[in-house]
Structure 1
Amino acid sequence: MKIVFAGTPEVAVPSLTALAGTDHEIVTVITRADAPLGRKRTLTPSPVALAAAERGYPVLKTNRLDAEATETIRALQPDLGVIVAYGGIVREPLLSVPRLGWINLHFSLLPRWRGASPVQRAVIAGDELIGAAVFQLVPELDAGDVFGSFSRPLGVHSTSGILLDELSHSGAELLLRVVGELAAGTAVAVPQTGEVTLAPKLTRDDARINFDQPAASVYSRIRGVTPEPGAFTTVNGAVLKLLEVAPSGDEPNLPAGTVLQRDTPVLVGTQTEPLVLLRVQPAGKTAMTANDWWRGVAAESVIAL
């Protein structure tokens, strides 16, 4: 088949790599425009743009799949469009341009967590299962019939960044299977069933940690917003990024939001048992162990967040 591939971040690269190893022809790769990154705000191609360039694929960089992009894609006469975390909406008439339409690899167990941040929302919510689905793209958000899916236990310690990396590889295998079935004419899609929940893009407010909640909820939120947008709190009015935390086990309770060092661990209180701070990053400084940070700020033994 002739395939148009659309994707932008690193999690889309394994799918592009998997398709590159088949007999299908990738006629173009669509990705978002170069974005300013780093302190110097240097314009940088997306991970998918770089991966496509390495393989010599034509690349269309656009943040909007408008009429011009539609005509460019139409001229290629693709059989199938494939989307993995592109970051833009495909509307008609582009939806109908490929002979078989568009399929989307989505990192959730649809219809749970339709939207931009499914893995992050699943972790924050404390879901027991996580997974991915390949579905037919339709005008309604992530609502199309599903060609295939898989699930696995979410686990209690993984961050959303780790989970997304894992799912990007296992999801690429699922995507490859569905593409093969579509090429052979054996693919079967079934309607989504179950309660619909939404996963809007995370904001900075989602990453602000409220310690006046049970430890399990605080721990889930920190893992869910790691590495992006990045968990944070404030200490004496200054932002403190929380890079790594862990359950404390049998440590006695502390008042919510109170930091205290007992022997080696630096603890922070929640509504229930405390959590252990392992790695943090104070404003304007590099990442460091919580013990090193504590030695620099602990004029008293307790600081309220």
Structure 2
Amino acid sequence: MNAGLRVVFAGTPANAAETLSFLHSNGVSILGVVTRKDVSIGRQRMLTPSPVAVVASKLGLPVYKSNSIDDAAISWIRALGPDVGVVVAYGSIFTKKALEVPRLGWVNVHYSLLPDLPGPAPVQHCLLQGRKGTGVTVFRLDEGIDTGPIIEQSQVPIFESDNAGSLLSRLTDEGSELLSRILHDGEVAITRAVGQEGKEGVYAGKPTRSMSQLDFQQDASEQINKVRAMNPEPMAWFDFNGSPIRVLRARLTNCPVESAGTARLVDKDLVVGCNGGSMILDTIQPAGKKEMLGADWFRGLHVDELKLS
């Protein structure tokens, strides 16, 4: 086994930080870390480092903060002398100039089985489509969007209990192990990459607030998929008297409700009828309030039934 590859790591969010920590603990030689700049968070607008920056600092790794791999970042990376770069959700497109800095280029971890679902949100989109399985792809970056040659892939099942958060967690674990194995296998593993085959997948764009709105005039299973896909962000919601009500957890039910959009209590559950089936709103969160049981929210309204939109 060859553990000699010298790596520069680029990433930003929590799942990327988990992968960074895993690689470090498994003996991968990480020369330095590139992450996005600190951002203002909360009501007091406190400048907060990215999860990757926090982990890198704890591990004693050099950190460079930039919102793109610009000339200054390229100079910093070049001075490290890496054999290969690793990208996990860094958050910026790499130019040809940036791609050429590490001797073996850059490898990326993507949370779908490419060429299926390229783009920034494959986890949400596979749940929106109600799929039973997905996977992880480690591939060599090129100038396209998730179009580079594939080094290795691994399949991951999707459970009915999964939401985007739980599925991403398992995909991160699988991707970290796959990436670590590839880096330990050395240059031969990276250079064996083969071009992507098959029809290019539908682009998995980042979900918007309008995409996350529930529509009880549609099929109930589609709305359940939306609840799963949008948790933890941006979170599925419906409008009630001009105010958004978030839906954190929901499930299908065989209990019939006469008309789509009608909500009422059935056996202590809040049931909403759809145009195809019915759904139980288990956990909701009214604007400005803590999450609560859907049934408790409904009881507080002191009505027999509601028309939701």
Q: TM-score, normalised by structure 1?
A: 0.95
Q: Which deviations, in whole Å up to 9, do the C-alpha atoms of 1:263-298 show, x marking residues without a partner?
A: 201011111111101111111111111122112224
Q: Which of 51, 54, 68 is matched with 2:55 structurally?
A: 51
Shift of 1:107: 0.5
Opposite residue 208 of structure 1, the aligned amino acid is Q
- Distance, in Å, in 1 between the alignment partners of 2:109 and 2:151 is 10
Q: Percent identity?
A: 38
Could you list the per-position Cα deviations for residues 175-217 of structure 1 after superposition, in whole angstroms to 9, with x for gaps in the alignment? 1111122345675212212222211111111211112211111
1:124 is aligned to: 128
Match of 2:219 in 1: 214
Instruction: Indicate whether 1:89 and 2:90 are aligned.
Output: no
Give the direction of change, closer, same or farther, for the CA distance of 1:38–1:258 in structure 2 (3 Å limit). farther
Is residue 181–residue 187 contact of structure 1 (8 Å, CA) maintained in 2?
Answer: no
Letter paired with 1:127: R
Of 119, 136, 144, which residue of structure 1 is paired with 2:140? 136
Alignment partners' CA distance in 1, 2:257 and 2:124: 28
Distance 1:184-1:112 versus aligned 2 partners, 3 A rule: closer
Question: For the structure 1 residues 23 and 155, does the alpha-carbon distance in structure 2 shift closer, same or farther, using more than 3 Å as the test?
Answer: closer
Counterpart of 1:167 (choices 171, 182, 189) is 171
Relative to structure 1, the CA distance from residue 256 to residue 43 in structure 2 (aligned partners, 3 Å threshold; closer, same or farther) is farther
2:246 paired with 1:241:
yes
After TM superposition, the structure 1 stretch with the greater mean CA deviation from structure 2, 204-213 or 95-104, is 204-213
1:177 lines up with 2:181 in the alignment: yes
SS of the residue 2:80 aligns to: coil
Runs of at least 5 residues in structure 2 that lack an aligned partner in the other structure: none
Amino acid across the alignment from 1:243: L
**RMSD after superposition:** 1.5
SS at match of 1:233: strand
- The amino acid of 1:216's aligned partner reads S
- Once the two structures are superposed, residues 151-192 of structure 1 have per-residue CA deviations (whole angstroms, 9 ceiling, x without a partner) of 122233310111001111111000111112234567521221
Q: Counterpart in 2 of 1:251?
A: 255
- Look up the match of 1:76: 80
Worse-matched range after superposition: 23-32 or 138-147: 23-32
What is the number of equivalent residue pairs in this alignment?
Answer: 304
- C-alpha separation between the residues in 2 aligned to 1:184 and 1:140? 23
The corresponding residue for 1:201 is 206
Read off the aligned partner of 1:148 and give its amino acid letter: E
Unmatched runs of 5 consecutive residues or more in structure 1? none
Whether the aligned pair in 2 keeps the contact of 1:5 and 1:26 (CA below 8 Å) is yes
Instruction: Find the residue that maps to 2:47 and give its secondary structure.
Output: strand
Do 2:108 and 2:139's aligned partners in 1 also have CA atoms closer than 8 Å? Answer: yes
Q: Distance in 1 between matches of 2:44 and 2:247?
A: 24
Corresponding residue for 1:105?
Answer: 109
- Match among 14, 17, 33 for residue 13 of structure 1: 17
Q: 1:245 to 1:268 in 2, by over 3 A?
A: same
The answer to whether 1:63 aligns with 2:63 is no
